[in-house]
Amino acid sequence: MPDYNKLELTRLEKIERLRAQGIDPYPSRANRTHSTAAALKAFEAGERGSNEPGAMGGAVSPEVSATLVGRLRAIRLMGKIAFAHIEDGAGRIQLFFRINDVGEAGLAQLANEFDLGDFIQAAGTLMRTKTGEITLRVTAFHMLAKAVTPLPAAKDEEVNGEIVRHAALTDPETRYRQRYADLAVNPEVRDIFRKRAAAVRALRAFLDSHDFLEVETPILQPLYGGAAARPFTTHHNQLHQDLYLRISFELYLKRLLVGGLERVYELGRDFRNEGVDRTHNPEFTMLEFYWAYADYEQVMDFTERMVRHTVERVTGGAVVTYQGHTLNFGGRWPRMDLKESVAELAGINVDDFPEADSLRAEMKRRGIPANPAAPRGKLIEGLVGEFVEPTLIQPAFLVDYPRDVSPLAKSRGGDPSTVERFEGFAAGFEICNAFTELNDPLDQLARFEEMAAAYAKDDETRHPLDDDYLQAMRYGMPPNGGFGMGVDRLVMLLTDQANIREVLLFPHLRKTE
């Protein structure tokens, strides 16, 4: 049984009073003729053709009738009249109640049984008040849903002619746990998720317009692969089989290239059993595409155009402001060699240290933390994260990565220790990752075996050998370029949010006691 507070108990009493009057506080049907935005538009269109005087000295459009619905956001009682504001998904509009229109009983019911947060249906005609506000002059109204718990407020509100101070819903932990309340009271939060939806639409539209086929691959997989991450494990009871939530789409999407689908993409959820920080969440949205007969140079060019298209569709331009930085997605992104960047910013020429032990010793000599069990490639990645990544504020590509941290990428000609791989960065963090994909089944087998040995002590980065994927490769896989992007991180940039939880409707949170 909920532990109701005094305000909630008062509202529960109102529910009982309504029911005693034969009024259902939660009716099954609503009869809306217009959204608030459509009603305003219809009135303005009619008003352009007439300027007849209306009630209260204002002007009224030629009989624009409407039935509106929404949540009560403000109520002001003034004797024989009352004003209210309601809000729906399209906007906000004022309601005007007059005793001559709704009767004494109706006005009393509004005063006694309706509260802020309730959902109401109101019918009437549109007018413009002396102050110029378009308003629905109500002739009939009823309850659609009674709110038992008062919503927190994003700011102080005027209630019955007085300013009421609320405890604003600003605590991030509470906002994430009660996203429904956060959305209800913070319009800027609703705007974040509208922009998120616009970004997803733009990405899909761009890929569709370039002849990519959207597909769906298994979320439950008998083997995990395609990334260096620890999976979530589950169990299929009927099959008596352990399964994994996917950490990547990659190995299944590339199987489709073997089958003759030359351009494929998937936009969906991945799951990685990893820590939570400002750019990581265990469940996140990924976009991956694979493009037969392309290489990482072509994918870089394509990435620039796709991201620019998305930024422009969401924001109206190619320049965005993120945490005080002005980011320009309109030009060509610099291509920065990874080893040269590490040498310049960390002071270490990694070619001088061809073994993990020697590189680790040099890092320790310089006072740089080094995992004693990490292979050489992971140490180099650590140097990138520590010294290079934070400097990449403007959009840029870091290219040519160590082979031993890129088991699915093709080696560069003449340099078997380096692969054709790039990562895209902006605002100091990674937003995408891509390869010229390895399509030699013999080399791929050797890579898997190398990884099994190199990462035997590190479950988080171990890449299991996938016999079925190797079988697919043996049928013949065309040369191809592959790409993956964290959609949540792109949305962070587009909405100027410093924490990934702000762009996830329901982020993962620690269980409360």
Class of domain 189-334+394-503: alpha beta
Q: Looking at the predicted structure, is the pLDDT value of residue 369 above 80?
A: yes
Summarised one tens digit per residue, pLDDT across range 187-211 is 999 999 999 999 999 999 999 999 9
Q: Looking at the predicted structure, is the pLDDT value of residue 164 above 90?
A: no
Q: pLDDT grade, residue 63 (50/70/90)?
A: confident
Taking each helix axis as running N to C, give the angle between helix 338-346 and helix 376-383, from 0 to 180 degrees, rounded to the nearest 10: 60
Summarised one tens digit per residue, pLDDT across range 472-511 is 999 999 999 999 999 999 999 999 999 999 999 999 998 8
Lowest-pLDDT choice from 93-102, 228-237, 273-282, 452-461: 452-461
Residue 54 is predicted with a pLDDT of 47
Q: pLDDT grade, residue 165 (50/70/90)?
A: very low
Residue 197's H or E segment, with its range, is helix 187-209
Are the CB atoms for 59 and 128 separated by under 8 Å? Answer: yes
CA-nearest of 402, 415, 406 to 338 is: 402
Task: Please state the pTM of the whole predicted model.
Answer: 0.90
Residue 449 is predicted with a pLDDT of 87
Residue 171 is predicted with a pLDDT of 86
Residue 50 is predicted with a pLDDT of 64
Summarised one tens digit per residue, pLDDT across range 424-478 is 999 999 999 999 999 999 999 998 888 777 666 555 556 678 999 999 999 999 9
Give the rounded percent of residues in the chain with a pLDDT score beyond 70.
Answer: 92
Beta bridge mates, 95: 84, 136
Which is it for the CA torsion 494, 500, 502, 505, positive or negative? positive
Beta bridge mates, 265: 214, 289
Summarised one tens digit per residue, pLDDT across range 4-60 is 999 999 999 999 999 999 999 999 999 999 999 999 999 999 887 665 554 444 444
Q: Looking at the predicted structure, is the pLDDT value of residue 158 above 80?
A: no
Superfamily, domain 6-168: Nucleic acid-binding proteins (2.40.50.140)
Beta bridge mates, 288: 266, 484
Residue 127 is predicted with a pLDDT of 95
| Mean of pLDDT values over 241-260 | 96
CA dihedral 271, 274, 279, 284 (to 10 degrees): 10
Q: Looking at the predicted structure, is the pLDDT value of residue 255 above 60?
A: yes
Lowest-pLDDT choice from 180-184, 296-300, 419-423: 180-184
β pairing state of 162-164 and 335-337:
unpaired
Q: Looking at the predicted structure, is the pLDDT value of residue 166 above 60?
A: no
Q: Looking at the predicted structure, is the pLDDT value of residue 361 above 70?
A: yes
| Mean of pLDDT values over 127-155 | 92
Alpha carbon 175 to its chain's center:
15
Q: How far apart are CA 69 and CA 89, in angstroms?
A: 10
Q: What is the mean pLDDT of the chain?
A: 92
Q: How far apart are CA 222 and CA 243, in angstroms?
A: 5
Contacts 24+ apart (CB under 8 A), 34-37: 34/66, 34/67, 34/68, 35/68, 35/88, 35/89, 35/90, 35/91, 36/68, 36/70, 36/86, 36/87, 36/88, 36/90, 36/91, 36/92, 36/93, 37/90, 37/91
**Bigger pLDDT: 392 or 413?**
392
Domain boundaries defined on the chain: 6-168, 189-334+394-503
